[in-house]
Chains A and B, each alone.
Chain A
Amino acid sequence: MEINAIQAFLIGVLSYLGSLSCPWALGTTGGWYVLSRPLVSGMLIGLILGDVQTGIIVGVAVQVVFIALVTPGGQMPQDLNAAAYIGVSLGILAVKQGGTVESGVALATAVGAIGTIFHNFMMLSNTFFNTRAIAAIDKGDFKALTMNHWVFPQIVQACFRIIPTFIVLYLGQSYANQIIAMFPVDSFVMRTLTALGGMLPAVGVAILLKQVTKKDIDLVRFLFGFVLVAALGINMISLAIVGAFFAYSHFIYSEKNVMVTDGVALDDDLEEEL
């Protein structure tokens, strides 16, 4: 399988539409959170390249690595958009060339790490348009504000996404194939990357875990979810229902306690005033 220029361009456009700041595909909701999920990008790239099934298989494998890595803000260790479009495309090529799905995942992870450069570039270049937006606000120029918010930053962003994707996919595909061919499945490099691919979801999980645990003892909730799946083997929908039961119970039964402590707090305040 080869990617022709039109296909490479189309994948680049999808990559742009799914990038973090792009407004045209219902903003972050339809873009970042939908188009930039490897599960979705795998299907779309598969459609463009004419093999939806392989697309989804590779997409799912990459999605697993990034399943918990959802927070767009702050210190992103991986650029999901680059992994979802450049990475998954190269992965599909690798699989069609007889490579394993794991080697495709390894490629996507490597691309994702490099892709963070584009994100940081955008965050810096937008400062320029922000300054122009401030000037527009001072003059009450609605049109200039909208242009410097909606349009100009997006022209730059489109270049950041479409051009690298096109170059890597169209001009770099033969190199990618050669690189994959150099490292057979049981080579040191591929075994390392496969082991890494299995471990990487732990980073996203740990970020979420840090976010949902306020006290160390809260880890026991995480362990409970882990045990339900690992030891009792229940599926995610069942787990969500069990979780919803506990969440609802917490919501109902924590009310009284809060009211009591509120009362105490009120008394304390009164005493202080007296």
Chain B
Amino acid sequence: MKKLSKKTLQKSWFRWFCSNLTSMSYQWLETFAFTDAMAPVIKELYDDKEDQIAALKRHATFYNTEPQLGSVINGVVCGLEEERANGAEIDDEIINGIKVGLMGPLAGIGDAIIPGMWIPLLLSIAIGLAKGGNILGPIFYIVTFLVSVTFASYYLFFKGYQLGTKSIDIIVGEAAQRVRESFNLLGSLVVGGVAASYVSVSTVLEFATGNDEATVVVNDVLNGIFPNILPLILVIFCWWLMAKKKISPLKVMLILVAIAIVGVFVGFF
């Protein structure tokens, strides 16, 4: 009965954790990161060179997911590989199918949590703390992000290893679906807060009414209708361009450049 040592599993996690995008290319993305992370596991489970080569080849198939929380898949696959080495009927198709089946849903959950919610939230708090050049801001971000994400990645890896195929039901199950929706809900609110705090658009337009004291400051009028209405309109406009008109972020940026130039030219900004 072969059993992966804790040390080997830790090695495998650490390889993935550090090198998940190390050799990324358009064609292969995280493929070789996954293969390389399996190397210590393969060496421990298989002594025969042919078996080792077969195992390496098994894991060198296209792979891409959210790197931080995606470590749970590495854990699951380590468990599968261990069962296989002990004679369980798990062929290449099954292992690859599980990897491909999990990488999509996990990328969804992972992106909703890490870049979609956690980073903007921590950065917003840190920016508040860093007012006036206070070093507390960057320190807060470094510590909270590193500790939380490293712990989550490590924990999920070993959770995936322990639960094995049972974790598949959890990851693709309806509870995971609800978790993703919940994080999307939280993320939407956070993104709304970020937009209100950091997108800044204001106009310098003024209309003289003949009476010096009654000059109409357009920006004040607009904010009287709804606070920060110009930033809101701009965000919705960018979203509409990307989501509805399928315009790439780069082109949206160029459109903003054009708006800025024209805006300054006509005296709007």
Chain A contact residues, CB within 8 Å of chain B: 20-24, 26-30, 32-34, 37, 39-40, 42-43, 52-57, 59-60, 63-64, 67-68, 70-72, 75-78, 113, 116, 122-124, 126-127, 129-130, 133-134, 137-140, 142, 145-146, 148-150, 153-154, 188, 191-193, 195-196, 198-203, 205-214, 218-219, 221-231, 235-237, 239-240, 242-244, 246-248, 250-251, 254-255, 258, 262
Contacts and interface: CB of A to CB of B under 8 A. Distances in A.
Specify the main secondary structure of chain B where it touches its partner.
helix
B90 interface: no
Contacts, number: 371
Contacts of A140: 49, 52-53, 56
Interface stretch (B73-81, B93-101, B155-163, B236-244): B236-244
Nearest to A245: B186
Contacts of A154: 22
Interface stretch (B1-9, B117-125, B164-172, B208-216): B117-125
Given A28-B20, A205-B199, A214 B192 contact: no
A27 B133 contact: no
A64 to B, nearest CB: 5
Contacts of A195: 201, 260, 263-264, 269
Nearest to B60: A137
Contacts of A150: 19, 22-23, 36
Interface residues of B, number: 111
28 contacts: A21-B23, A23-B18, A27-B20, A27-B22, A43-B138, A60-B131, A76-B250, A77-B253, A122-B24, A130-B25, A130-B31, A145-B39, A146-B36, A149-B35, A188-B265, A195-B263, A198-B201, A199-B200, A211-B187, A213-B188, A221-B189, A221-B192, A223-B192, A224-B188, A224-B192, A230-B228, A236-B124, A242-B189
Nearest to B19: A23
B249 A191 contact: no
A20 B260 CA distance: 30
Q: Which 6 A-B pairs have the closest CB atoms?
A: A225-B192, A53-B133, A225-B189, A206-B238, A221-B188, A243-B189
B185 interface: yes
B25 A237 contact: no
Contact of A201 (B27, B36, B198): B198
A246 B186 contact: yes
B189 A198 contact: no
A123 B25 contact: yes
Contacts of B52: 140, 142
B196 interface: yes
A138 B241 CA distance: 46
Contacts of A231: 226-227
